[in-house]
Copies of this chain bind each other. A is one copy, B any other.
């Protein structure tokens, strides 16, 4: 509230949000908040600690962390003083914070906006300002226990959101060992790993072509990789497959990875999430810094969303992975003297939002606010409007924690009051005669306009009103 009367008047055509950003309001915000609150609930259930960092960091903190993508960082103007830039993700601020603090171990979560000067694709939900939602467990623990808890948290969150998911999982040491055994030269491991990462969207023939023609791998080596990466299934099955292959098990990375996966398998069963997890030898994940297990969550769109909403809407059917992460034991060491092992996951809340919004649209009109009761008045000739009485009664409801509104008019018309109460489930209706007896009428709203006029609801004593409303809500 600090603008001035003499301020320059803007023309309407200039009124927009910056490219790649948007306002959120009403029903959209309620849905987004519902998603955030569901996720936060689960984070807290697991002892998560909330971290909030500034929206901008010293430029030096971000420099050299994102490789080529650094060009997408938003810089602040040099107005004297420190050089700063908007945060690009939540992981670097978390690592910076860990580097500054004395914390040895933490389960930290953060839901916040991040910024990338990318080409926006608004309909597909790719924006320049968007939310990330991260949960990470940092600290030295016994092997695979925090890893299993991250997957348990993931499973709980999608249960709460009523989304059917599966979690693909792999292990960096198994993947790298497999490349070594297949005969990939060490300097080509990362680039071949990136090629395998595309198996998600491209057929094997295409990926093989990239390996052989694009990256100079021999056809024989590529075929050996092809044999391995086609295997996926539940953890015991793939673990068995790996253990029976003596060539693979002779590799120390693979041996260590398989031991991890055996432990993980028993922990996931104890946590009752084993059935949702698929061990997929083709899962590679792009980022370099993973050192242990990696995972990606996928959803099958609910049939009603699929049928009704995706015709002509390619974006929805391309939603792809809705959460992903892994173990990264060496990142924090870049920010200080200490190395702190971490495992974490990032939820793609924009993608989750897109799916849930489509589901909501198949279920009818969404509310823009969550009011439960509308207090209204009516009367014949000589109607005073009963404003003070409406104010007194609505105050009582507020004091009882009930969400309630009334029309801010001295003499409101009944149809206007019904219209304002369009998305409100209950009406309290004041009439002068009823009030003389210490009574009002309580009625369910939105039963149809004709019905509305006829049925004036049940008579309720003022003293019982709060209790009666709470019974109905």
Contacts and interface: CB of A to CB of B under 8 A. Distances in A.
Interface in A96-141: 96-97, 99-100, 107-108, 113, 115, 117, 129, 134, 137, 141
A405 B346 CA distance: 21
A408 B74 contact: no
Taken together, the copies of this chain in the complex come to: 2
Interface of A: 1-10, 12, 14-19, 21-26, 29-30, 33, 41, 44-58, 60-61, 63-67, 69, 74-79, 81-82, 84, 86, 88-89, 91-92, 95-97, 99-100, 107-108, 113, 115, 117, 129, 134, 137, 141-142, 145-146, 148-149, 152, 156, 266-267, 270-272, 287-289, 325, 328, 330-331, 333-337, 344, 346, 368-371, 387-389, 391-392, 395, 398-399, 401-405, 408-410
Given A12-B337, A74-B76, A141-B408, A328 B1 contact: yes
A467 to B, nearest CB: 18
A75 B82 contact: no
Given A47-B371, A149-B408, A395 B271 contact: yes
Given A3-B91, A10-B99, 10 more contacts: A1-B91, A3-B66, A4-B65, A5-B289, A9-B335, A25-B97, A41-B401, A45-B401, A54-B129, A74-B77
16 contacts: A3-B334, A18-B54, A18-B58, A18-B82, A23-B53, A23-B100, A25-B52, A33-B50, A41-B401, A55-B55, A55-B86, A55-B115, A77-B78, A152-B395, A271-B392, A271-B395
A377 to B, nearest CB: 13
A15 to B, nearest CB: 5
